[in-house]
Amino acid sequence: MNTAADTKSTSRSPIDKAKLGQIVLVFQGGGALGAYQAGVYQALQEAGVEPDWVIGTSIGAINAALIAGNAPGDRLGRLLEFWSRVTHSRAVQFAGMIPGLGALAANAMTVSRGLEAFFRPNPWAFLGMQTPLGSELAGYYSTGPLEKTLADLIDPDLLNAGRPRLTVGAANVQTGQMRYFDSRDDVLTVRHVMASGALPPAFPAVRLDGELYWDGGILSNTPVEAVFDDRPRRSGVVFAVHMWAPNGPEPDSIWSVLSRQKDLQYSSRAITHIARQKQIHKLRHIISELADRLPPDVRQTPEVAELAAYGCATQMHVIRLLAPPLAGEDHAKDIDFSPLGIRTRWEAGYAHTRRVLEQSPWTQAVDPTEGVILHEAEAGRMTEGTPA
């Protein structure tokens, strides 16, 4: 990986923030697939593009917190350190080299032994599935190692400094409602990040302010709606980084069904959200334009002013970066913490984002009545060891 920790940007940003507004990164959840997001950030940083706001769920929340919780010059190094720590141990790497059975053996060892800096088996779980363990112990694994890892790599003061703003999504266990914890409104800690990644039944729920939370991916694995629902609404360029393929071939075996089911489950409803927001925001633009055409004396009446307030002239360019599948991957791809898997995905995110930056789709002419402009950026298929 071209991931030297001392990499510094000498480039002028290709995004004119004075014209286009804020820069937002939105990271999906996806376990080991999140290495792709680290590559995306590296390419942006080298191009002089630093986010004003990072939003994440699950592993996306972890990557987002590593960015927000460190000074610009330290961010890439901290991402590299995290992904190095969660890479398979030498024993698992050795098992992964067994001809014909390597991937299965490595996955089995990950499931049975955990990852030293991420999660470890919860011995209490062996008492039986119906044994009362308490809400904060009811999981097959303990995420105590992750809490220590994040505490080592994140500065709590910078996490809440708002440079960039940080938002992490978690699901309230009892109400079934999505909760976005936002450094603009809340004091965030490593525990908030862990709550965003507490995927059951593997990981136990995390209690915050008396409420239990699970992985936000249960409800919305691509938290792009946090941008659309923000108040006040702002123009900007939004990099929505996806790791799960919404489109794919018909599965023809139970093995491929398991893989396709996961893709559909975790690709979430991002496209539906964007399509609906395009409709709503276009109506907002039309309302604003109609209000501007009214005579001043009519426009300034309380009744018309109240109606005109439903209008909005902001524009958001949404760049959907869709990670390519790794050749030969299956439904266990999200626990592929092998050095090769992490390196390949990181490099793919880096190469893909560099191409998008060169194309700069946000500079293209657009319909002025459009408030949300979607730019698709698919990268194709990866082969192991080679970025797409």
Strand ranges for 57-124 from DSSP E: 120-121
- Look up residue 383 and give its two tokens: 């082969």
pLDDT for 291 beyond 70? yes
Contact 146, 118 (CB under 8 A): yes
Burial class (CB in 10 A: 0-12, 13-18, 19+), 31: buried
Residue 272 confidence class, pLDDT cut points 50, 70, 90: confident
Residue 387 confidence class, pLDDT cut points 50, 70, 90: very low
Looking at residue 112, its pLDDT comes to 85
Looking at residue 325, its pLDDT comes to 84
- Please tell me the total number of residues recorded for the chain in this structure: 388
- Look up residue 122 and give its two tokens: 């919860």
Query: Mean pLDDT, to the nearest integer, of 333-345?
Result: 91
Nearest to 160 by CA among 127, 186, 134: 186
Residue 99 confidence class, pLDDT cut points 50, 70, 90: confident
DSSP conformational letter for 216? G
For the chain, percent of residues with pLDDT exceeding 70: 92
pLDDT for 9 beyond 80? no
Looking at residue 105, its pLDDT comes to 78
Residue 101 confidence class, pLDDT cut points 50, 70, 90: low
User: What letter represents residue 233's amino acid?
Assistant: R
DSSP conformational letter for 123? G
Query: Mean pLDDT, to the nearest integer, of 33-49?
Result: 97
- The answer to whether the bond into 204 is cis (omega within 30° of 0) is no
Contact 49, 74 (CB under 8 A): no
Query: Mean pLDDT, to the nearest integer, of 359-387?
Result: 74
Query: Mean pLDDT, to the nearest integer, of 182-211?
Result: 96
pLDDT for 332 beyond 90? no
Q: Which helix (H) or strand (E) holds 56?
A: strand 53-56
Nearest to 178 by CA among 214, 210, 203, 202: 214
Nearest to 36 by CA among 54, 65, 60, 57: 60
- Look up residue 73 and give its two tokens: 């010059």
How many angstroms separate the Cα of 80 from the Cα of each of 37, 91, 122, 194, 324?
Answer: 12, 21, 27, 19, 21
Query: Mean pLDDT, to the nearest integer, of 151-162?
Result: 97
Query: Mean pLDDT, to the nearest integer, of 249-262?
Result: 90
C-alpha 186/C-alpha 181 separation (Å) is: 6
Pure H helices in 197-269:
225-228, 254-267
C-alpha 112/C-alpha 162 separation (Å) is: 39
Query: Mean pLDDT, to the nearest integer, of 109-117?
Result: 89
Looking at residue 100, its pLDDT comes to 67
Looking at residue 14, its pLDDT comes to 92
